């Protein structure tokens, strides 16, 4: 099976694009982390009119329709009644905070390797920006045991068990959402099951990852950036944000819109692979994270994508209406991840027909 680590192995990073700042000892904002010319909304934090993202109840009998419309108009929605146990979400949050609270030299024991995909490090988008972000992350794919053992050699289960359980629950929820979204788009059953993505028989397993994000409180928040504007590579992302503001999405003709946290809800956003599979109808949503001067912020992102050797293509999945042409060249998930790792937001343009 092709693994995500393989997809990243061809794009190794320099260590200065992996090792986060030791935020606990940073009394002032270093120039390396000071962003010039942040827009007014970033620095004043004012709310942009009354705009807020759609809120959807997964048990709504019209869930398919309202989710489809939300993806098309916003690329993001808040999901309620998602059935992920709140005590599991709280435990994952607690374990994430416990990890990020460790002294820097302990966290570095789980540092992501230059060609690796998992472990502790700065955001993968970091090399595309001249300034560093006020952020540290921890990426998990499958079992986190090997990484966690480096930090807690004899006591890794309290960290690993909830992370593994969360991945199982998120996978189940993602499959439900995939069915609703693909039904809305009239995408075929073959595509729903990623048929064609395995070497032998049957269909391959989705490619998934958890990203724990930490944005420490910042000595000069008006000049710092938590996570620079980006789109996710995934089909879609399911995000849990604890109770601190900071996430914003970009909406055409409106500008940056805050996504206010509700710790009992989840936020779902569209990614590039859904953009390609829907032939541009569900555009991947641009988003960013701002930091603040008093409270650290934490979030847990779950990225859900087709198997790495799945061919992403609008021409063969039933999405095109009669006479409509595919707007993107077909690519495997692995190829697209490679394009994104090398070109960031230009990746979609590079496969545009």
Ligand X SMILES: O=C(O)CCC(=O)C(=O)O
Instruction: Return residues touching ligand X (CB under 6 A).
Output: 211, 213, 227, 232, 239, 241, 247, 287, 289, 299, 301
Smallest CA-to-CA distance from 30 within 228, 294, 220 is with: 220
CA distance 189 to 67: 19
Between 292 and 299, name the residue whose CB sits nearer to ligand X.
299
- Residue 119 Rama label (left phi>0; alpha psi -120 to 50; beta): left
CA distance 325 to 289: 36
Between 299 and 309, name the residue whose CB sits nearer to ligand X.
299
Between 248 and 279, name the residue whose CB sits nearer to ligand X.
248
Between 242 and 313, name the residue whose CB sits nearer to ligand X.
242
Angstrom distances, CA of residue 48 to CA of 45, 52, 249: 9, 9, 11
Binding-site string for Fe ion from residue 229 to residue 248, where x marks contact by CB under 5 A and - marks none: ---x----------------
Smallest CA-to-CA distance from 334 within 314, 310, 302, 304 is with: 310
- Minimum distance from CB of 7 to Fe ion (Å)? 17
- Minimum distance from CB of 42 to Fe ion (Å)? 17
- Minimum distance from CB of 16 to ligand X (Å)? 21
State which of positions 178-197 bind Fe ion (CB under 5 A): none
Stretch that binds Fe ion, among 36-44, 57-65, 86-94, 225-233 (CB under 5 A): 225-233
- Minimum distance from CB of 98 to ligand X (Å)? 18
Between 75 and 204, name the residue whose CB sits nearer to Fe ion.
75
- Minimum distance from CB of 251 to ligand X (Å)? 16
Please report, for the chain, how many H helices and E strands are present, in that order: 11, 14
Contacts of residue 184, defined as CB under 8 A and 6 or more positions apart, other chains included, come to 64, 65, 67, 68, 71
User: If contact means CB under 5 to 8 A according to the sort of partner, which of Fe ion, ligand X, none does residue 348 touch?
Assistant: none
Q: Count how many Cα atoms sit within 13 Å of the Cα of residue 98 in the half-sphere of its side chain.
A: 13
H/E stretch holding 93 reads helix 86-100
Cβ-proximal residue to ligand X, closest one? 299
Q: Which three-class secondary structure state does DSSP give residue 300?
A: strand
User: Cα-Cα-Cα-Cα dihedral of 251, 37, 212, 153, to 10°?
Assistant: 170
- Minimum distance from CB of 198 to ligand X (Å)? 28
Counting contacts by CB under 5 A, is residue 335 touching Fe ion?
no
User: If contact means CB under 5 to 8 A according to the sort of partner, which of Fe ion, ligand X, none does residue 241 touch?
Assistant: ligand X
Between 56 and 301, name the residue whose CB sits nearer to ligand X.
301
Q: Which of 124, 283, 288, 297 is catalytic?
A: 297
Q: Which three-class secondary structure state does DSSP give residue 46?
A: coil
User: If contact means CB under 5 to 8 A according to the sort of partner, which of ligand X, Fe ion, none does residue 289 touch?
Assistant: ligand X
Structural tokens at position 202: 């049957």
User: If contact means CB under 5 to 8 A according to the sort of partner, which of ligand X, Fe ion, none does residue 213 touch?
Assistant: ligand X
User: If contact means CB under 5 to 8 A according to the sort of partner, which of ligand X, Fe ion, none does residue 314 touch?
Assistant: none
Angstrom distances, CA of residue 263 to CA of 84, 89, 217, 239: 12, 9, 19, 10
User: If contact means CB under 5 to 8 A according to the sort of partner, which of Fe ion, ligand X, none does residue 211 touch?
Assistant: ligand X
What distance lies between CA 322 and its chain's CA centroid? 33
- Minimum distance from CB of 239 to ligand X (Å)? 6
Classify the C-alpha dihedral 256-295-242-159 as positive or negative: positive
Catalytic site includes residue 297: yes
User: If contact means CB under 5 to 8 A according to the sort of partner, which of Fe ion, ligand X, none does residue 208 touch?
Assistant: none
State which of positions 276-315 bind Fe ion (CB under 5 A): none
Task: Return the active site residues.
Answer: 297
Write out the residues near Fe ion by the rule CB under 5 A: 232
């Amino acid at each position: 099976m092709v693994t995500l680590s393989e997809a990243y192995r061809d794009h190794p990073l320099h260590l200065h694009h992996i090792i986060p700042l030791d935020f606990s000892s940073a009394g002032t904002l270093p120039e390396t982390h000071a962003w010039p010319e942040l827009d007014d909304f970033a620095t004043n934090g004012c709310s942009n009119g009354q705009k807020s993202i759609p809120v959807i109840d997964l048990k709504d009998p019209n869930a398919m329709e309202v989710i489809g419309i939300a993806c098309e108009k916003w690329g993001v929605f808040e999901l309620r009644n998602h059935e992920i146990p709140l005590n599991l979400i709280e435990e994952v949050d607690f374990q994430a905070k416990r990890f990020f609270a460790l002294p820097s030299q302990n966290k570095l024991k789980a540092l992501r390797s230059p060609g690796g995909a998992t472990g502790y490090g700065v955001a993968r988008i970091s090399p595309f920006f001249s300034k560093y972000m006020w952020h540290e992350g921890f990426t998990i794919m499958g079992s986190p045991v090997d990484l966690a053992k480096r930090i807690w050699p004899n006591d890794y289960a309290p960290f690993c068990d909830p992370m593994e359980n969360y991945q199982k629950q998120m996978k189940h929820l993602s499959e439900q959402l995939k069915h609703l979204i693909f039904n809305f788009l009239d995408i075929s059953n073959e595509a729903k099951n990623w048929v064609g993505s395995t070497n032998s028989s049957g269909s391959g397993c989705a490619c998934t990852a958890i990203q724990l994000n930490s944005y420490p409180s910042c000595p000069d928040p008006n000049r710092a950036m938590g996570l620079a504007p980006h789109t996710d590579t995934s089909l879609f992302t399911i995000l849990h944000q604890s109770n601190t503001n900071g996430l914003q999405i970009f909406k055409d003709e409106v500008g940056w819109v805050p996504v206010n946290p509700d710790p009992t809800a989840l936020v779902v956003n569209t990614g590039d692979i859904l953009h390609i599979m829907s032939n541009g109808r569900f555009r991947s949503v641009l988003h960013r994270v701002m930091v603040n001067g008093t409270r650290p912020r934490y979030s847990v992102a779950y990225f859900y994508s087709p198997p790495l050797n799945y061919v992403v293509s609008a021409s063969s999945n039933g999405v095109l209406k009669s006479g409509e042409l595919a707007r993107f060249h077909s690519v495997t998930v692995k190829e697209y991840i490679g394009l994104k790792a090398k070109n960031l937001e230009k990746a979609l343009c590079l496969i545009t027909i």
